Chains A and B, each alone.
Chain A
């Protein structure tokens, strides 16, 4: 893990952030520069997972500098130097800034409500249930990831997310964010340092309100209000009689959503989609990398390589803050739709090859009405299969076993029609091949008009189909057709199939 001290990062060259929609009033061809941020800090401020390039805080003063940087990220235009304490203090006093900070903390949740519109107020649910050893399927027990929180709510608060969630390395060596420090995941020292920083920036009122929110989270993690769908679940099979049910409100877990989301972006060749565009994190990462290279070249000094070891603290019930849900505007919605492609497992129900599509059904109907000769279709693979040479007994045995599967494809239309009935009236069927017509139109139970399907009919049909297949084999292979042995086997199999299907 590469890390550099905060001051070094602040001293990296500035990166211009432009707003693509605004034009510079002085030079209409250029875009307006709204922020100027040191390159080294970009990865920390924009990246959502613990960055490789994380700043190391060595003292409470540096912590104050860091928090000032995080707050100054929201200011337009950016102050210079970037860690200007006065500007940060003013921003905290400003109503917009402090309400954003409060609003984000209020929207903290491990499970998001299934609301259809994210602007509807959602529930704050903090899940404190312990992990079960024997998990089923994919859920919190089997995911193996620390708890992720969903944070957001109002898109206007988005600028303050780096304040809460950007990661840095504390002087004890732990990697943490302000949110995890404030909630007490990293011990008392981190919590009190954060609070002291806020006080030194003149935000003691804000701190009181934040403390109130934290206390209410710990006191009442799951609200008493039922909001969302209600699924009634029977607790056993005789619930019809003994009325044993449970009402469940499904709330998807942010941890699972973030895990799938992170996995999707981690593996570009994931089978269900390919990543088409870089996201801003990637760009920020690259910029930070460049900044580090320039640092190295300039001072001729290697930035300190710091091996951060995550301490194994006894799992506090609330877990660890790892990742912020990606876009605050999407929160509260059950499905994340990112550039038109939902990030979820998608069941691909391939069209059943046996089931004819609408087009196939139309073709079949036309074939029945028109004077089409035969419904038997012989495909090239069948011809290859029938003329295949099987030198060993094992191969011959396998060939015999697979014969019926291959033949079914040739007589599929016949079987389907026999099984499902005719799509047209019986009198309209104008099929030329008499044996096929009899097979698909005659019923099994005989009637006085001698219209039942007899075994003689089936034999005749099997012979006819064998001859059709043989003709195709002769034509395609330019040979004398199937051997007698092969022909008799085909005949036997076909009569067996027809008898079964009839």
Chain B
């Protein structure tokens, strides 16, 4: 397993990934970029690559406060135009993200050599791709990390303060089972708890929550003591509402089509430095890389479909 570290600046990224979660690009956008990039590489260099997931490490992030689209003006009796009565639509949120995208893949050693020789050319191809409705611009040389099974080596090459997007969707089912409530209540409970925890960690006081490894850990303790970090909701994929059918799409009938509703999961933003400080057992590199998983009716991009 090898990793490509691609530093990019993405502008005009649409961070309204679904009507229910705003602020981060969807995880399908992240893994989508990785897949599109590998496809481009395999076509350009005529090599065979297998997609093993993509990670996103944000260095800086600015988002538009949002603006409403124009409403149709009304002409009143005095022939003056005034803002219409209709509610203005779609709050547009665009972001400008400076990040590193880590694309993980498998290939033969010949393909690896070919890839190694063409890295500079690939850097120029990055701007051909898009990211969640936005444009990409390469901000540095692409780095190829070979034989990186755990992903730790590629994480080590990132700036220590860039924030890596980690998958925490399993927390929802954990909290649901624990508190016997619906998924919506669990999400709200977790997000509230994360925010309360972050209030305790003010800028000028540092406190560490000790998890005593010697005592018995009851399930309640796990939720209470676990440091949730900067927990956010984001769209992680789709849930099909029907069987895939043959409809005419812009792919000209090559693939089947399905209508699907978005699935909301949770993610955590953790700094690369703090990730590396975790010991090898707890650093599960799999949670860093978002992978496509298709299990009808779920078409999601998660680290694992079933978490222990």
Interface string of B176-220 (1 = CB under 8 A from A): 100000111101100110010010000111101000000000000
Q: Does A275 contact B (CB under 8 A)?
A: no
Q: Cβ of A237 < 8 Å from any Cβ of B? A: yes
Closest to A238 in B: B50
- B interface footprint on A108-138 (CB within 8 Å = 1, 0 otherwise): 0001000011100000010111001001111
> What residues of B have a CB within 8 angstroms of the CB of A479 in the complex?
none
Is A142's CB within 8 Å of the partner chain B?
Answer: yes
Q: Is B251 an interface residue (CB 8 A)?
A: yes
CB-CB under 8 A from A224, the residues of chain B are 245, 247
Contact status A330-B89, CB under 8 Å: yes
A137 touches B51 (CB 8 A): no
Selected contact of A355 from candidates B35, B161, B249, B302, CB within 8 Å: B161
- Total number of A-B contacts with CB less than 8 angstroms? 277
Contact A239 B183 (CB under 8 A): no
- B183's partner among A135, A232, A251, A402 (CB-CB below 8 A) is A135
Instruction: Flag whether B150 is at the interface (Cβ < 8 A).
Output: no
Minimum Cβ distance to chain B for residue A254 (Å) = 10
Q: In the complex the two chains form, what is the Cα distance from A224 to B299 in whole Å? A: 21
Query: A279 → chain B, closest Cβ, in Å?
Result: 14
| Cross-chain contact of A118 among B48, B89, B265, B292 (Cβ < 8 A) | B89
Q: Which residues of chain B are within 8 angstroms of A250 by Cβ–Cβ distance?
A: 18, 238, 260-262
In the bound complex, CA of A282 to CA of B69 (Å): 30
Q: Specify which chain B residues have a CB less than 8 angstroms from the CB of A226 in the assembled complex.
A: 247-249, 257
Give the distance to chain A from B35, nearest Cβ to Cβ, in Å: 6
The listed residue with most A CB atoms (<10 A of its CB), out of B90, B232, B298, is: B90
Chain A residues near B19 (CB, 8 Å)? 252, 257, 334-336, 344
Say yes or no: is A268 at the interface (Cβ < 8 Å to chain B).
no
Q: Which residues of A contact B263 (CB under 8 A)?
A: 136-139
B83 contacts the other chain (CB 8 A):
no
CB distance from A359 to the nearest CB of B (A): 14
- Number of chain B residues whose Cβ lies closer than 8 Å to a Cβ of chain A: 100
B24 within 8 A of A: yes
Q: A346 touching B188 by the CB < 8 A rule?
A: no
B264 touching A240, Cβ below 8 Å: no
- Cross-chain contact B264 with A139 (CB below 8 angstroms): yes
A144 within 8 A of B: yes
The range of chain A's interface size is 35 or more
Residue from A118, A144, A335, A347 within 8 A of B232 (CB atoms): A347
- Of the candidate stretches A72-80, A241-249, A292-300, the one touching chain B is A241-249
Of all chain A residues, the one with the shortest Cβ separation from B86 is A329
B236 touches A137 (CB 8 A): yes
Instruction: Report if A139-B255 is in contact (Cβ < 8 Å); known contacts: A246-B299, A248-B238.
Output: no
Whether the pair B255, A232 counts as a contact (CB closer than 8 A) is yes
Interface readout for A374-416 with B: 1 if CB under 8 Å, 0 if not? 0000011100000000000000001001100110000000000
A314 at the interface (CB under 8 A from B): no
Is A419 in contact with B258, judged by CB distance below 8 angstroms?
Answer: no
B237-280 interface (Cβ within 8 A of A): 237-242, 244-245, 247-251, 254-266, 269, 271
Residues of A within 8 A of B (CB): 111, 116-118, 125, 127-129, 132, 135-145, 155, 222, 224-226, 230-241, 243, 245-253, 256-257, 259-260, 263, 270-272, 327, 329-330, 333-338, 342, 344-350, 352-355, 379-381, 398, 401-402, 405-406, 419-420
Given contacts A128-B242, A337-B87, 11 further A-B contacts (CB under 8 A): A136-B298, A137-B169, A137-B172, A142-B182, A240-B39, A248-B259, A250-B261, A337-B89, A342-B91, A349-B269, A402-B208
A/B interface sample: 18 pairs, CB < 8 A = A136-B173, A143-B184, A234-B51, A234-B292, A237-B106, A248-B260, A249-B258, A250-B260, A250-B261, A327-B87, A330-B87, A344-B19, A349-B163, A352-B161, A379-B204, A380-B204, A381-B206, A420-B159
Closest 8 pairs (CB-CB, A-B): A347-B23, A142-B183, A347-B232, A345-B233, A144-B182, A137-B265, A138-B264, A354-B161
